[in-house]
Every structure is written in C-alpha cells, then in structure tokens.
C-alpha cells in the first residue's frame, strides 16, 4: 500500500462549545453536573427513537438532508447527510422507491453516568430483513444528547445477526455500565480502537483484530486490486474527536461492545489517455475536475466486541476470539470526492 500525503484533507471539525472539562475518569463535566444518573428515561428513549425514524423517513422520501439534519450526528450523521445530498442531486423529485423504515421490538440499554453528553442504545428490529433464521438482524442505534436543551440524535448504527447481540452487564436497576475511553481492563481501550484499526489497515500493525472481511480481508483486497492503466493508493486516519468519540457498554463476559469511527481515502490515478470512472454519487459530491486522478473520502463506523485484557494470550480466559477484537459490523459511506 502506498502512502500519499496529499490525501489527508479533513472535514471541518464540529463545535463542542458546551463542554467545560473532561475528568481523568472520562466523565464530561458540564454546568457542574457530576451526579451519576441514568442516561435517559425509557419513555424518553422511545420518543427519541420515534423522532429519529420519523425524520429519517421524511428525509429519505424527499431526498432532502435538511429534514433529518437535527436528528443525526457523528458518523451516522456524516454518512446520512452526504448520501441524501448526493441522491437529491440526481433525483430532484424525491425517492420514488421510498419504503418507510420501521424500527420496533425495541429494547433500550441505558447506561448510568455523570454529566453530559448522555446516551443510550436502542436494540431494534427493522423491516429491512427477514424475520427468523439466519437472515434475521437487529439494528443497534446509539442516541446521544449533548446537553439539557439539546435534542437526542442518532450517532451510530450497527446491524448484526440477532444471535450476535451480546448480553450486557446490568445492575440491580437494569442499568448498563459505560466503558471509559481509556479503560485498561479491556484488550484495547476504546479511545485506541480507531488508531489501532487504521494503523492495522495501513501497516498490518497492531495486529489486535480477528480475521474478517473488514480487517485482514480488506487488506488483501487492497493488495490484489489490479486494473490495467490505473494505480491505487490508500490512506486511513483515526477519527475520535467531538461527535465521533467511541461509545461502549460493558458485556457480561467482562468485555465490551464498542462503536468507533474512522476515515478512509482511496486515490485512483490513471495513465495518460485514461480517466477514472465517475459514478452519480461521486459526481454529486465532487470538487475539482477529474482528469487523471480521483480521490474518494469515506467515513466508516465500526461495531466491535472487545474482550477483557485477562483474555489475552496465556491468561487461560478465552472469549472465543483469542483475546483479539472481533469486528461485528462496519458501515462505510462516501462523504466527499476530489478530482485532479
């Protein structure tokens, strides 16, 4: 894989003006609120899920990103907004194939924590799968609220077989335990997952992930990609700031289910007389003119199971992953493109 310093164009950072300080334990302190409380009431969580689904359906039907812009954030927001913007460009009359998204049979996994932001996970069944059997999936949607006057926004989405949804560690009140960004009881701290993943994709190190299509398989696909007259270059960057922060919950096995975000650039360079192909989505998000070079910029969210550190090699405690991080789901989306 070839590094190329020109690929690192970053999107504008998102403001976090309400945050006053971050404590050493990872709790965000805003307006002096340090009491450990449930992230949301169940009725509040149910309303947040409904508000998101209503806004998502309105935006998808019209292909209008403005209609759900205030209900999405983080990696899901970046992917959703760019996708709607692109499809609106070449479908100005809206989505004739729109099928309303239904998310029901919801279980709300609500962590207790101090301060803001507060968040929770909605474990739902969608109408986008086949109920029962191997094709039955669960949609795990993470909602975040940054302050007492802020709206609940969907920040992460993970889709996985129902059989792979772990049992969460709950207290006597049925509340979950959030994992700290620098949790040293896990094989990899949540704060380090993005850098570990992008480093592995670039260099094969650190080798902390189990083999999968999104880890070793993706590296192999890049290595073997060939097309006469074209060369390919890749850059992978961690993405952890502000609304892209990792979020995780402790599981009963002592590990954690963690969502995290990364950014990926793919640069295609054509030989003289050739030109990279530009599809409608790329064209809609394109800046510059594609002569011989096309750079695609993607944001990707990952859902992983991180085993406890005690499950490392030689510990005798094995969660079935050999002490490595197991990739459960990856959701990438094109957010920008540049022609040269």
pTM confidence score: 0.87
State the pLDDT confidence band at 29, using cuts at 50, 70 and 90: very low
Whether 262 and 184 map to the same domain: the answer is yes
Tally the domains of the chain: 2
State the pLDDT confidence band at 33, using cuts at 50, 70 and 90: low
Q: How much is the average pLDDT of 88-94?
A: 97
Both tokens of residue 19?
């945050």
Both tokens of residue 293?
């070079």
DSSP 8-state secondary structure symbol assigned to residue 137: E
Q: Whole-number mean pLDDT of the chain?
A: 90
- Which of 134, 165, 196 corresponds to the end of one domain? 165
- Four-CA torsion 233, 238, 241, 244, nearest 10 degrees: 90
Whether 148 and 208 map to the same domain: the answer is no
Whether 184 and 37 map to the same domain: the answer is no
Whether 201 and 335 map to the same domain: the answer is yes
Whether 200 and 92 map to the same domain: the answer is no
Residue 252 lies in a domain: yes
How open is the CA angle 111-317-173, to the nearest 5 degrees? 20
Q: Are 190 and 174 in contact (CB under 8 A)?
A: no
| Beta strands 28-29 and 118-126, pairing class | unpaired
Q: How much is the average pLDDT of 191-210?
A: 98
Both tokens of residue 246?
């990792």
Residue 7 lies in a domain: no
β-partners of residue 264 are 236, 298
pLDDT at 169 over 50: yes
Whether 66 and 141 map to the same domain: the answer is yes
Neighbouring CB atoms inside 10 A of 332's CB total: 15
Q: Which residue has 């129902």 as its token pair?
A: 162
Q: Which residues of 313-329 are buried (b: 16+ CB within 10 A; e: fewer)?
A: eeeeeebebebbbbbbb
Residue 324 lies in a domain: yes
Whether 183 and 299 map to the same domain: the answer is yes
Domain that holds residue 34: 28-165
Distance CA 260, CA 245 (A): 7
Q: How much is the average pLDDT of 276-296?
A: 98
Residue 32 lies in a domain: yes
Where is average pLDDT lowest: 3-7, 114-118, 152-156, 207-211? 3-7
Q: Which residue has 């335990």 as its token pair?
A: 177
β-partners of residue 6 are none
Residue 18 lies in a domain: no
Residue 10 lies in a domain: no
* Peptide linkage before 140 cis (omega within 30 of 0): no
- Which of 125, 141, 165 corresponds to the end of one domain? 165
Q: Which residues of 183-221 are buried (b: 16+ CB within 10 A; e: fewer)?
A: beebbbbbbbbbbbbbbbbbeeeeebbbeeebbbebbee
Residue 12 lies in a domain: no
Whether 250 and 319 map to the same domain: the answer is yes
Both tokens of residue 76?
């899901």
Instruction: List, for residues 104-158, the tens digit of each pLDDT value.
Output: 999 999 999 999 999 999 999 999 988 877 789 999 999 999 999 999 999 999 9
Whether 102 and 187 map to the same domain: the answer is no
Q: Are 85 and 285 in contact (CB under 8 A)?
A: yes
Q: Are 317 and 308 in contact (CB under 8 A)?
A: yes
- Considering just the CA atoms, what is the radius of gyration of the chain in Å? 21
Q: Are 260 and 61 in contact (CB under 8 A)?
A: no
CATH code (residue 59): 3.10.450
Whether 223 and 296 map to the same domain: the answer is yes
Whether 35 and 184 map to the same domain: the answer is no
Instruction: List, for residues 52-67, the tens digit of each pLDDT value.
Output: 999 999 999 999 999 9
Residue 20 lies in a domain: no
């Amino acid at each position: 894989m070839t590094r190329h310093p020109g690929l690192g164009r970053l999107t504008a950072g998102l403001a976090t003006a309400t945050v006053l300080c971050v404590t050493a334990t990872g709790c965000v302190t805003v307006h002096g609120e340090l009491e450990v409380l449930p992230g949301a009431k169940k009725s509040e969580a149910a309303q947040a899920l409904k508000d998101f689904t209503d806004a998502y359906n309105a935006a998808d039907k019209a292909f209008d990103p403005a209609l759900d812009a205030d209900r999405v954030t983080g990696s899901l927001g970046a992917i959703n907004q760019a996708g709607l913007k692109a499809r609106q460009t070449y479908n100005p009359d809206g989505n004739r194939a729109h099928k309303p998204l239904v998310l029901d049979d919801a279980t709300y996994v609500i962590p207790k924590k101090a301060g803001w932001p507060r968040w929770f996970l909605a474990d739902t069944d969608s109408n986008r799968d086949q109920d029962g059997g191997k094709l039955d999936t669960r949609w795990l949607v993470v909602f975040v609220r940054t302050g007492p006057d802020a709206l609940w926004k969907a920040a992460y989405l993970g889709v996985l077989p129902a059989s792979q949804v772990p049992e969460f560690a709950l207290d006597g009140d049925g509340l979950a335990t959030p994992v700290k960004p620098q949790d040293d009881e896990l094989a990899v701290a949540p704060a380090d997952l993005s850098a570990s993943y992008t480093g592995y994709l670039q260099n094969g190190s650190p080798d902390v992930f189990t083999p999968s299509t999104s880890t070793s398989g993706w590296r192999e696909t890049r290595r073997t990609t060939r097309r006469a007259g074209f060369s390919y270059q890749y850059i992978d960057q961690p993405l952890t700031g502000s609304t892209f922060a990792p979020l995780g919950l402790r599981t009963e096995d002592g590990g954690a289910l963690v969502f995290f975000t990364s950014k990926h650039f793919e640069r295609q360079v054509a030989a003289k007389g050739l030109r990279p192909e530009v599809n409608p989505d790329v064209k809609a998000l394109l800046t510059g003119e594609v002569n011989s070079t096309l750079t695609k910029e993607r944001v990707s969210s990952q859902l992983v199971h991180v085993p406890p550190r005690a499950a490392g090699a030689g510990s005798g405690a094995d969660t079935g992953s050999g002490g490595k991080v197991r990739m459960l789901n990856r959701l990438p989306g094109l957010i920008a493109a540049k022609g040269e």
